[in-house]
Homo-oligomer: A and B are copies of this chain.
Amino acid sequence: MSKPLRIGMVGSGYMGKAHAIAYRNAMAAFEISSESLICDMLADATPELAKQKALELGFRRSTGDWRDMINDSDIDVIDICAPNFLHKDIALAAIAAGKHVYSEKPLALNSADAKRMTEAASLAGVSTLVGFNYIKNPTLQFIKQLIEQGDIGDLVHFRGVFNEDYLAQADLPFSWRLQQEFAGSGALNDLASHLVQLALHLMGPITELCADVKIVHKQRPLMDSNDRSGRDMGMVENEDQAHMMVRFANGAQGTLETSRVAWGRKNGLSFEITGTKGSLVFDQERLSEFSLYLAGDKPDRQGFKRILVGPEHPDYKAFCVSAGHGLGFNDMKAVEIRDLYEGLVNKRRLWPDFRAATQVNVILDQVIESHRRNAWVKIEQYDGDQ
């Protein structure tokens, strides 16, 4: 490649660091030279913080104002690791400047914003990618292949859960995550966005859903208070847990569940898919394996087979030549970066892009709407291509 791809990243918190690790990991694993992909500029809240973090995370330049990167003609891609409520403004500015955009999920706080972002990108002709990294796992790539090849037959059921316990402690302090203005929905945006995207990816479009949503801990102590006696409490505005029944376009049924108060679940993204010829079970807390049941085995030796991901499966070989050695969470992100790089170089549609991510926002909005109306709702098919 004659011209390198230059990245400008906004945000250097948890997710910014994960991206920084992933850029280097992707370059080493997929053998992308440092002349081809450059971590160029990092933006954060202040010039000092940005400078310090750029040094630590391996970016060449830094700025205290993300708009500097938008206006920098050297930057090809804006990578958004900023808080969720800023995604829209940064993305729209980047698109207006003709930059490609790589945004963390959820794309937006609601589907109206997501659609506006998608349409802007479409008009500007820039490429977009949203960080739904779980589906980049070689294990999930292989599961996708098995489904497409028909190994488990016609799909009849999907049960998916994404539960964690990061807010299970009742007296954890009030924060921006609990406010609609900054976070939009709660566990739905944080966790279920991944689960919905994964369900769409593996099962196809959702046409109808009926949902139920609950705030378990209705108020939390305000952080700036030294008094936890209950007088100074903030009212939680978004859901701690939610679940829904869905109907897929292919006729299959499904349930999706999410919670941020599910004690014991740390990265509890799991699913079971049943088809007419077999079934599949996956648990993100053991991300380098899955279980497969195929109906055709002899009657006395049928069972779920635990398959460890290895070099026979997609993209694993880039990380390790031997099966069973195990990939980690950060490796999924490296595959995502590889997709970003190769997609842009080869001018292919990145995936999942803003359009695909908007479909997730459309569904999450309808979860709230279904709960509000206490009824089944139809789902708009915004991303017709998926």
Number of this chain's copies in the assembly equals 4
By the criterion CB–CB under 8 Å, are B321 and A14 in contact? yes
By the criterion CB–CB under 8 Å, are A263 and B293 in contact? yes
With A21-B25, A56-B31, A375-B376 known as contacts, the answer to whether A264 contacts B279 (CB < 8 A) is yes
A20 at the interface (CB under 8 A from B): yes
Min Cβ gap A1→B in Å is 13
What is the bound-complex CA distance between A169 and B299, given in angstroms?
A: 12
What is the bound-complex CA distance between A159 and B162, given in angstroms?
A: 13
By the criterion CB–CB under 8 Å, are B312 and A308 in contact? no
Q: Which of A10-58 contact B (CB under 8 A)?
A: 14, 17-18, 20-21, 23-25, 27-29, 31, 33-34, 55-58
Of all chain B residues, the one with the shortest Cβ separation from A22 is: B28
Of all chain B residues, the one with the shortest Cβ separation from A321 is: B14
Chain B residues within an 8 Å CB radius of A245:
210-212, 243-245, 255
Chain B residues within an 8 Å CB radius of A257:
159, 255
Query: Of residues A24, A257, A276, A322, which shows the largest number of chain B Cβ atoms within 10 Å of its Cβ?
Result: A24
By the criterion CB–CB under 8 Å, are B263 and A274 in contact? yes
Partner of A33, one of B24, B56, B324: B56
By the criterion CB–CB under 8 Å, are B157 and A259 in contact? yes
Partner of A328, one of B264, B288, B293: B288
Chain B residues within an 8 Å CB radius of A267:
308, 322-326
By the criterion CB–CB under 8 Å, are A319 and B21 in contact? yes
A275 at the interface (CB under 8 A from B): yes
A142 at the interface (CB under 8 A from B): yes
Chain A 220-259 per-residue mask, 1 if CB under 8 angstroms from chain B, else 0: 0000000000000000000011011101000001010101
Partner of A330, one of B277, B320, B374: B320
Main secondary structure of the interface of A (DSSP, over half): mixed
Q: Which of A288-331 contact B (CB under 8 A)?
A: 288-289, 291-295, 297, 299-308, 310, 312-313, 319-331
Partner of A261, one of B156, B297, B330: B156
A140 at the interface (CB under 8 A from B): no
What is the bound-complex CA distance between A305 and B278, given in angstroms?
A: 14
What is the bound-complex CA distance between A263 and B151, given in angstroms?
A: 13
Chain B residues within an 8 Å CB radius of A217:
276
Of all chain B residues, the one with the shortest Cβ separation from A247 is: B212
What is the bound-complex CA distance between A274 and B292, given in angstroms?
A: 23
Min Cβ gap A227→B in Å is 22
Of all chain B residues, the one with the shortest Cβ separation from A240 is: B156
Min Cβ gap A329→B in Å is 4
What is the bound-complex CA distance between A277 and B170, given in angstroms?
A: 9
What is the bound-complex CA distance between A99 and B302, given in angstroms?
A: 44
Query: Of residues A247, A264, A275, A312, which shows the largest number of chain B Cβ atoms within 10 Å of its Cβ?
Result: A264
A268 at the interface (CB under 8 A from B): yes
Q: Which 6 A-B pairs have the closest CB atoms?
A: A266-B324, A328-B328, A264-B293, A24-B24, A31-B56, A325-B329
Q: Residues of A with Cβ closer than 8 Å to B?
A: 14, 17-18, 20-21, 23-25, 27-29, 31, 33-34, 55-58, 142, 152, 156-157, 159, 161, 163-164, 166, 168-170, 210-212, 214, 216-217, 240-241, 243-245, 247, 253, 255, 257, 259, 261-268, 274-279, 284-289, 291-295, 297, 299-308, 310, 312-313, 319-331, 374-376
| Chain A to chain B contacts (Cβ below 8 Å), 26 pairs | A23-B28, A28-B57, A33-B55, A34-B58, A168-B295, A169-B295, A214-B253, A217-B276, A243-B255, A255-B257, A263-B275, A264-B279, A264-B304, A266-B323, A266-B324, A267-B326, A268-B324, A288-B328, A299-B312, A304-B306, A305-B306, A320-B329, A325-B329, A326-B329, A328-B331, A330-B331
